[in-house]
Amino acid sequence: MFRKRPNKKLNNDQAQLTQENSTAQAELAQQGEAFTPELLENLRRIKEILGGSSDLVMTDFILGGHEAALLYMDGMVDKVAINHFFEHINRTPEMMKYSNFLSQEEEGTADFFKLLSTPVNRLDEIRFFREAIRAILAGNAVLLVNSVTHGLVIDSKGHKGRAVTESSTENVVRGPKEAFNENGLINTTLIRRKIKDPRLRVERKVIGNVTQTSVAVIHIHGIANDKLVKEVHARLDKIDIDGILESNYIEEFIQDEVYTPFPTVFNTERPDVVAAALLEGRIAIVIDGTPFVLLVPALFTHFFQAAEDYYQRWDIATLLRLLRISAFFISMLGPAVYIAVINFHQEMLPTPLLISLAAQREGVPFPAIVEALIMEVTLEILREAGLRLPKAIGQTVSIVGALVIGQAAVEAGIISAAMVIVVAITAISNFILPAYNMGISIRIIRFVFMFLAGTFGLYGIAAGLFALALHLCSIRSFGIPYMDPLAPFVPDDMKDTFWRKPIFRLITRPRLISQKNNQRQSKSK
Amino acid sequence: MKRIVLLPLCALVLFLAGCWNNRELETLGIAVAMGIDKIDHEYVVTVQLVNPSAVSARQSDTSRAPIVTYQEKGKTIFEAIRRVTKVAPRKTYYPHLKILVIGEELAKDGFAEALDLLSRDPEFRNDFYVVVAKDHPADDVLNVLVPVEKIAAQNMFTKLQTSADVFAPTLALTFGELIKDLTSHGKHAVITGIQLTGDAKEGEKMENLQTSNPKVRLKYTGIAVFKDDKLKGWLNEKESKGYNYIVDNVKSTIVAVPCIDDKKRFLSVELIDADTKLKLNTMKPKPEMSVTVKADANIAEVGCAIDLTKQATVDQIEELAEKDINAKIRSAIKAAQDEFKFDFLGFGEVMHRAEPGYWKKVEKKWDKEFVDITIKSKVTVDIEKLGKRSNSFINEMGD
Give the model confidence (pLDDT) of A240-283 as tens digits.
Answer: 999 999 999 999 999 988 889 999 999 999 999 999 999 999 99
Is there a contact between A359 and B22 if contact means CB atoms under 8 Å apart? no
Q: Tell me the C-alpha distance between A234 and A205, whole Å.
A: 12
> Is A21 a member of any domain?
no
A63 and A141 belong to one structural domain: yes
Size of interface A-B (CB pairs under 8 A): 85
Query: In this structure, how many other beta carbons lie within 10 angstroms of the beta carbon of residue A199?
Result: 11
Which ranges in chain B are annotated with CATH 3.30.300.210? 246-399
Q: Tell me the C-alpha distance between A224 and A295, whole Å.
A: 12
pLDDT tens sequence across A404-427: 788 888 888 888 888 988 988 998
Radius of gyration of chain B (CA): 26
Each residue's pLDDT, cut to its tens digit, for chain B (399 residues) gives: 677 788 778 777 767 766 667 788 888 888 988 999 988 888 999 998 888 877 776 655 667 778 888 989 989 988 988 888 888 888 888 888 988 999 888 888 888 888 888 889 888 888 899 989 888 888 888 888 777 777 878 888 888 888 887 776 788 888 998 898 888 888 888 888 888 887 777 777 777 777 787 878 888 888 888 888 888 888 888 888 888 888 888 888 888 888 877 778 888 889 888 889 988 888 888 888 889 999 999 988 888 888 888 888 889 889 889 999 999 999 989 888 888 888 888 888 888 888 888 888 888 888 888 888 888 889 999 988 888 887 888 877 765
A262 and A285 belong to one structural domain: yes
3 state DSSP class of A449: helix
Which domain does A86 fall in, by range?
39-154
pLDDT tens sequence across A44-97: 888 888 888 888 888 888 776 778 888 898 888 888 888 877 777 776 655 555
A384 and A291 belong to one structural domain: no
A331 and A387 belong to one structural domain: yes
CA distance B213 to chain A (A): 26
Chain A residue with minimal CA distance to B4?
A: A259
Nearest one of A463, A465, A236, A454 to A366, comparing CA atoms: A454
| pLDDT attached to residue A140 | 87
A356 and A472 belong to one structural domain: yes
pLDDT tens sequence across A288-314: 999 999 999 999 999 999 988 999 999
Is there a contact between A361 and B24 if contact means CB atoms under 8 Å apart? yes
| pLDDT attached to residue A5 | 42
Average confidence score pLDDT of chain A: 83
3-state SS, chain B, equals CHHHHHHHHHHHHHHHCCCCCCCCHHHEEEEEEEEEEEECCEEEEEEEEECHHHHCCCCCCCCCCCEEEEEEEECCHHHHHHHHCCCCCCEEECCCCCEEEECHHHHHHCCHHHHHHHHHCCCCCCCCEEEEEECCCHHHHHHCCCCCCCCHHHHHHHHHHHHHHHCCCCCCCEHHHHHHHHHCCCCCCEEEEEEEECCCCHHHCCHHHHCCCCCCEEEEEEEEEEECCEEEEEECHHHHHHHHHHCCCCCCEEEEEECCCCCCCEEEEEEEEEEEEEEEEECCCCCEEEEEEEEEEEEEEECCCCCCCCHHHHHHHHHHHHHHHHHHHHHHHHHHHHHHCCCCCCHHHHHHHHCHHHHHHHHHHHHHHHHHCEEEEEEEEEEEECCCCCCCHHHHHCC
| pLDDT attached to residue B222 | 82
pLDDT tens sequence across A200-216: 999 999 998 888 899 99
CA distance A500 to chain B (A): 39
Chain A residues lying within 8 Å of B19, measured CB to CB:
343, 454-455
Partner-chain residue, chosen from A344, A358, A368, that has the shortest CB–CB distance to B52: A358
Chain B residues lying within 8 Å of A417, measured CB to CB:
58
Q: Tell me the C-alpha distance between B169 and B192, whole Å.
A: 9
Chain B residues lying within 8 Å of A347, measured CB to CB:
95-96, 123, 125
Query: Which of A342, A348, A351 is most worth mutating to test chain B (most B CB atoms within 10 A of its CB)?
Result: A351
Is there a contact between A343 and B25 if contact means CB atoms under 8 Å apart? yes
Looking at 2.40.30.20, 3.90.180.10, 3.10.20.340, 3.30.300.210, the CATH number of the domain B246-399 comes to 3.30.300.210
A142 and A233 belong to one structural domain: no
A337 and A417 belong to one structural domain: yes
| pLDDT attached to residue B61 | 61
Is there a contact between A347 and B125 if contact means CB atoms under 8 Å apart? yes
| pLDDT attached to residue B18 | 61
A390 and A477 belong to one structural domain: yes
A270 and A347 belong to one structural domain: no
Answer for the pair A137, A73: CB distance below 8 angstroms, yes or no.
yes
Is there a contact between B151 and A355 if contact means CB atoms under 8 Å apart? yes
Q: Does the CB of B56 have a partner CB in chain A at under 8 Å?
A: yes
> Is A346 a member of any domain?
yes
- Please give the single-letter amino acid code of residue A467: A
Strands A141-145, A66-73: pairing is antiparallel
CA distance A358 to chain B (A): 5
Nearest one of A330, A340, A323, A303 to A427, comparing CA atoms: A330
Using pLDDT thresholds of 50, 70 and 90, give the confidence band for residue A450. very high
**Residue A279: CA atoms inside 13 Å, Cβ hemisphere, count?**
18
Q: Is A142 exposed, middle or buried (0-12, 13-18, 19+ CB in 10 A)?
A: buried
Q: Tell me the C-alpha distance between B152 and B144, whole Å.
A: 7
> Is A423 a member of any domain?
yes
> Is A494 a member of any domain?
no
Q: Does the CB of B24 have a partner CB in chain A at under 8 Å?
A: yes
Q: Which residues of A touch B (CB under 8 A)?
A: 259, 342-344, 346-347, 351-352, 354-364, 367-368, 417, 451-452, 454-457
Is there a contact between A347 and B21 if contact means CB atoms under 8 Å apart? no
Q: Tell me the C-alpha distance between A61 and A70, whole Å.
A: 8
CA distance B171 to chain A (A): 22
Q: Decide if pLDDT at A2 tops 50.
A: no
Nearest one of A270, A280, A279, A275 to A301, comparing CA atoms: A280
Q: Does the CB of B388 have a partner CB in chain A at under 8 Å?
A: no
Is there a contact between B30 and A361 if contact means CB atoms under 8 Å apart? no
Domain count, chain A: 3
Query: In this structure, how many other beta carbons lie within 10 angstroms of the beta carbon of residue A498?
Result: 14
| pLDDT attached to residue A93 | 59
A374 and A268 belong to one structural domain: no
| pLDDT attached to residue B397 | 79
Is there a contact between A346 and B57 if contact means CB atoms under 8 Å apart? no
Chain B residue with minimal CA distance to A357?
A: B25
CA distance A415 to chain B (A): 13
A338 and A474 belong to one structural domain: yes
Chain B residue with minimal CA distance to A460?
A: B14
| pLDDT attached to residue A284 | 95
Per DSSP, what are the bridge partners of residue B227? B230
Q: Does the CB of B98 have a partner CB in chain A at under 8 Å?
A: yes
| pLDDT attached to residue A219 | 93
Nearest one of B144, B141, B122, B146 to B130, comparing CA atoms: B141
Q: Tell me the C-alpha distance between A510 and A497, whole Å.
A: 10
Is there a contact between B17 and A456 if contact means CB atoms under 8 Å apart? yes
Nearest one of B153, B90, B76, B86 to B120, comparing CA atoms: B76
- Please give the single-letter amino acid code of residue B236: N
Phi, psi dihedral angles at A125 (to 5 degrees) = -90, 140
3 state DSSP class of A34: strand
Chain B residues lying within 8 Å of A363, measured CB to CB:
26
Chain B residue with minimal CA distance to A356?
A: B56
Chain A residues lying within 8 Å of B59, measured CB to CB:
359-360
Q: Does the CB of B397 have a partner CB in chain A at under 8 Å?
A: no
A150 and A219 belong to one structural domain: no
pLDDT tens sequence across A356-378: 888 888 888 888 889 999 888 98
pLDDT tens sequence across A237-248: 999 999 999 999
Answer for the pair A439, A261: CB distance below 8 angstroms, yes or no.
no
Using pLDDT thresholds of 50, 70 and 90, give the confidence band for residue A228. very high
Chain B residue with minimal CA distance to A344?
A: B22
